[in-house]
Amino acid sequence: MSNTKIKRTEISQYGEFGLIDHLTKNFDLRQPSSLKGVGDDAAVLSYNQKKTLATTDLLLEGIHFDLIYTPLRHLGYKAAIVNFSDIYAMNGTPTQLLVSLGVSKRFGVEDLEDFYSGIRLACDEYNVDLVGGDTSASLTGLTISITCLGIVDPERVVYRNGAKANDLICVSGDLGAAYMGLQLLEREKHVFQQASGIQPDFAGKEYLLERQLKPEARKDIVELLQNKDILPTSMIDVSDGLSSELIHLCKQSQCGCRIYEENIPIDYQTALQAEEMHMNLTTTALNGGEDYELLFTVPLSFHEQVKDIEGIRIIGHMCDASLGMRLISRDGNELDLKAQGWNAFEDSSSNA
Amino acid sequence: MSNTKIKRTEISQYGEFGLIDHLTKNFDLRQPSSLKGVGDDAAVLSYNQKKTLATTDLLLEGIHFDLIYTPLRHLGYKAAIVNFSDIYAMNGTPTQLLVSLGVSKRFGVEDLEDFYSGIRLACDEYNVDLVGGDTSASLTGLTISITCLGIVDPERVVYRNGAKANDLICVSGDLGAAYMGLQLLEREKHVFQQASGIQPDFAGKEYLLERQLKPEARKDIVELLQNKDILPTSMIDVSDGLSSELIHLCKQSQCGCRIYEENIPIDYQTALQAEEMHMNLTTTALNGGEDYELLFTVPLSFHEQVKDIEGIRIIGHMCDASLGMRLISRDGNELDLKAQGWNAFEDSSSNA
């Protein structure tokens, strides 16, 4: 937050209403469904024949993000992306965003402008309208609450519960990079705190940092599936880790699954960093999380159509629930999948 | 939070997914527009010919509520009501709710159950579906984020900007009681803290406490206006105080206004308590806030239809913007209206 040193306007100078006006004044409405945005008691939206999707996320300082290495602009971008990703995971298109902030006195108006500039960039790139929100004082730290609305054709909505035995399990992009980016940032933070002045060297690790600090939502995959006339039987986005998300799909679809370690897509930088840090690469890919890739199932009959699509990997198949949920390792062993996604309730260290 | 003493289950025992399942399991979907609620990446909603309304609010411990005198069940109820009120203020009907909680280790599962029991009661009484949300750990205190969706007939949506000069200004119910309830609770909290053991005596002051701790949204007024075929030209709910809300209507409608002190509806208990506390009664009614009454304007031609409706008071009229926004006091003086609504950014005392 080096900007705070340059210019710092007290938030109290604006008051609540002035502040939200100030922060949202450059957000134009672009979606035909956005009739009225910020500035009344509620946004007014019109969806006609489409179905509406709604999702919400709460991001808390010290739990979900660390401002020591997260620029506020990136945080705004990521906060929006995380919610867009949930809408894409329903095979929909995000259309409107509502953003609420709770901010302590530590933050100046310029900090919030940085945050909103990230929100704006995300809205621009994904063609989403900011239509509401709330700003409030907080006693400690930064609280971000985002609600995203979206639309979907009634016949194209994809839930988590539609997978059947023998369906192919597919995942977009690669996994584990965002988690390795986080490990890298945490390590450099400790080095910096212990020997102030040593600047971190991230050369050759840009991809890991980008995946952690400025992730993207897989709009392209949803469009690609539509263009190829592929309708997944189930879908979820990978926010808590592949293992945890697969378990969601299996449980809600009442299936088991087999995935193959050798098929899990992992980027070269991720592998290199895991080796450097003596971490198990497969565990990283299975449990790291924050990948925001799409995990979905398609009927076996779609094999030919799916197998050669760039950016999509078939990692296994669904099976009868009685067969359990398992990873087949490179050496042929079968291991039970566990939801080892980050449990924030156990990790939080304060007793407040 | 006396319940915590009786039984306390650690939140970590459930994990994030188990917890949200546990807390939301008794919420059935009742609205035809709710196709899919909690349990996927996003809720799926269908609005057909109606317009959709969306509003969101962030409530932070120490800023918006004090758990020393606010039972969690009441807090859940109020958090929902505050959002329903925003939907009614658009002349709409609330239909879906998304609730996110950030909770520190101080809270047990039973506490969250209490909170959700309040949410459930509000959903039951106002016929609203809980369709989504998020639970997360927090380092300090309780964070509540609520998003409410609603529907409205396209030809009946009422904005803040439609008032014209000469329109009558109307308000439902009475004002200032919730603020006096808060003063009362704050006073008893201090007494209790200084001389532990002295139990507060709230006899005869139940109405003030109810208005502060368990407010209602004016569903009945919206229905009444519909039944009498009255379409307001502008409307807003009174959350920050009459004065502040009137200024919103005037500014957005590019009007001025005249309201009459003698016409402002005030309950007997409010008046008695203001006198006891040596507070100016009119200031309390103008700036107290949290009344969740509806403030609206109707054309002058509706005077006959509106003047005798029980529970609605005509308090003045809109005028040309050049004439300013003024209160006419009992002795005939004209006073400029000021938005002295509680500015949380100035009041917050921490520097965190």
pLDDT at position B34 = 79
Query: Averaged over A204-214, what is the pLDDT?
Result: 95
Q: Indicate where chain A has its CATH 3.90.650.10 domain(s).
A: 168-342
At B122, is the secondary structure helix, strand, or coil? helix
Query: Averaged over A272-282, what is the pLDDT?
Result: 95
pLDDT at position A236 = 96
Tell me the C-alpha distance between B33 and A261, whole Å.
42
If we measure between CA atoms, which residue out of A28, A195, A196 comes closest to residue A128? A28
Residues in chain A within 8 Å Cβ distance of B346: 12
If we measure between CA atoms, which residue out of B264, B259, B262, B261 comes closest to residue B249? B259
Residues in chain A within 8 Å Cβ distance of B16: 343-345
Whether the Cβ atoms of residue B334 and residue B326 lie closer than 8 Å to each other: yes
pLDDT at position A344 = 43
Query: Averaged over A185-191, what is the pLDDT?
Result: 89
Kindly calculate the radius of gyration of chain A based on its CA atoms and give it in whole angstroms: 21
Q: Is the pLDDT of residue B4 over 50?
A: no
Tell me the pLDDT band of B148, cut-offs 50, 70 and 90: very high
ipTM: 0.86
**Which amino acid, one-letter code, is at B53?**
L
Tell me the pLDDT band of B338, cut-offs 50, 70 and 90: confident
Q: Do B143 and A143 touch (CB under 8 A)?
A: yes
DSSP state of B350: -
Residue with tokens 């509000």: B122
Q: Do A139 and B352 touch (CB under 8 A)?
A: yes
- pLDDT tens digit sequence for A126-174: 999 888 887 888 988 999 999 999 999 888 999 999 999 999 999 999 9
pLDDT at position B144 = 95
Q: What are phi and psi of B339, to 5 degrees?
A: -85, 85
Q: Do A54 and B141 touch (CB under 8 A)?
A: no
Q: Is the pLDDT of residue A14 over 90?
A: no
Say if domain A3-156 classifies as CATH 3.30.460.20.
Answer: no
Handedness of CA A235, A239, A242, A248 (dihedral sign): negative
Among all residues of chain A, which has the CA nearest to that of B157?
A44
Cα separations in angstroms, A251 against A157, A164, A313, B39, B194: 19, 11, 22, 11, 54
Residues in chain A within 8 Å Cβ distance of B145: 56, 58, 100, 143, 145
Whether the Cβ atoms of residue A148 and residue A128 lie closer than 8 Å to each other: yes
Residues in chain A within 8 Å Cβ distance of B157: 44
Q: Is the pLDDT of residue A76 over 70?
A: yes
Cα separations in angstroms, A326 against A247, A333, B15, B160, B323: 10, 10, 22, 57, 75
Tell me the C-alpha distance between B288 and B86, whole Å.
18
Tell me the pLDDT band of B17, cut-offs 50, 70 and 90: low
Mean pLDDT, chain B, integer: 88
pLDDT at position A174 = 98
Q: What architecture is domain A168-342?
A: Alpha-Beta Complex (3.90)
Q: Do A58 and B157 touch (CB under 8 A)?
A: no
Residues in chain B within 8 Å Cβ distance of A15: 339, 343, 345
Tell me the pLDDT band of B195, cut-offs 50, 70 and 90: confident
Q: Distance (Å) from the C-alpha of residue A313 to the closest C-alpha of chain B? A: 22
Q: Distance (Å) from the C-alpha of residue B201 to the closest C-alpha of chain A? A: 31
Where in chain B does DSSP place strands (E)?
A: 34-36, 43-46, 51-60, 93-103, 129-137, 142-152, 168-172, 234-237, 255-260, 294-298, 312-320, 325-328, 334-336
pLDDT at position B207 = 96
DSSP state of B199: P
Q: Is the pLDDT of residue B352 over 50?
A: no
Q: Distance (Å) from the C-alpha of residue A211 to the closest C-alpha of chain B? A: 21
Q: Is the pLDDT of residue A15 over 70?
A: no
Tell me the C-alpha distance between A286 and A340, whole Å.
9
Tell me the pLDDT band of B2, cut-offs 50, 70 and 90: very low
pLDDT at position B214 = 96
Pairing of strands B312-320, B334-336: unpaired
- pLDDT tens digit sequence for B275-288: 999 999 999 999 99
Angle between helices A177-194 and A206-213 (to 10 degrees): 100
Query: Averaged over B237-247, what is the pLDDT?
Result: 94
Q: Do B44 and A63 touch (CB under 8 A)?
A: no
Instruction: Convert chain A into a string of H (helix), E (strand) and C (coil).
Output: CCHHHHCCCCHHHCHHHHHHHHHHCCCCCCCCCEEECCCCCCEEECCCCCEEEEEEEEEEECCCECCCCCCHHHHHHHHHHHHHHHHHCCCCEEEEEEEEEEECCCCCHHHHHHHHHHHHHHHHHHCCEEEEEEEEECCCCEEEEEEEEEEECHHHCCCCCCCCCCCEEEEECCCCHHHHHHHHHHHHHHHHHHCCCCCCCCCCCHHHHHHHHCCCCCHHHHHHHHHCCCCCCEEEECCCCHHHHHHHHHHHHCEEEEEEHHHCCCCHHHHHHHHHCCCCHHHHHHHCCCCCCEEEEECHHHHHHHHCCCCEEEEEEEEEHHHCEEEECCCCCEEECCCCCCCHHHHCCCCC
pTM for this predicted structure: 0.89
Q: Distance (Å) from the C-alpha of residue A104 to the closest C-alpha of chain B? A: 6
Kindly calculate the radius of gyration of chain B based on its CA atoms and give it in whole angstroms: 21
Q: Is the pLDDT of residue A349 over 80?
A: no
Among all residues of chain A, which has the CA nearest to that of B347?
A137
Residues in chain B within 8 Å Cβ distance of A41: 55, 85-87, 89-90, 160, 236-237
DSSP state of B120: H
Q: Indicate where chain B has its CATH 3.90.650.10 domain(s).
A: 168-343
Q: Which helix (H) or strand (E) holds B250?
A: helix B242-253
Q: Do B345 and A236 touch (CB under 8 A)?
A: no
Q: What is the dihedral of CA B85, B89, B95, B96, to 10 degrees?
A: -60
Say if domain B168-343 classifies as CATH 3.90.650.10.
Answer: yes
Q: Which of B345, B349, B351 to mutate to test the interface with A (most CBs of A within 10 A)?
A: B345
pLDDT at position B132 = 84
Number of H helices, E strands in chain B: 12, 13
Whether the Cβ atoms of residue B240 and residue B341 lie closer than 8 Å to each other: yes
- Looking at chain B, the whole-number percentage of residues with pLDDT higher than 90 is 64
**Which amino acid, one-letter code, is at B240?**
D
Q: Distance (Å) from the C-alpha of residue A196 to the closest C-alpha of chain B? A: 23
Q: Indicate where chain A has its CATH 3.30.1330.10 domain(s).
A: 3-156
Q: Is the pLDDT of residue A6 over 80?
A: no
- pLDDT tens digit sequence for B45-88: 777 778 899 999 999 999 999 999 999 999 999 999 999 999 99
Residues in chain B within 8 Å Cβ distance of A16: 343-345
Tell me the C-alpha distance between A204 and A267, whole Å.
13
Residues in chain B within 8 Å Cβ distance of A132: 54-56
**CATH number of the structural domain B9-156:** 3.30.1330.10
Among all residues of chain A, which has the CA nearest to that of B352?
A140
Question: Which has more pLDDT, B13 or B309?
Answer: B309
Q: Which of A29, A58, A59, A130 to mutate to test the interface with B (most CBs of B within 10 A)?
A: A58
Q: Is the pLDDT of residue A343 over 90?
A: no
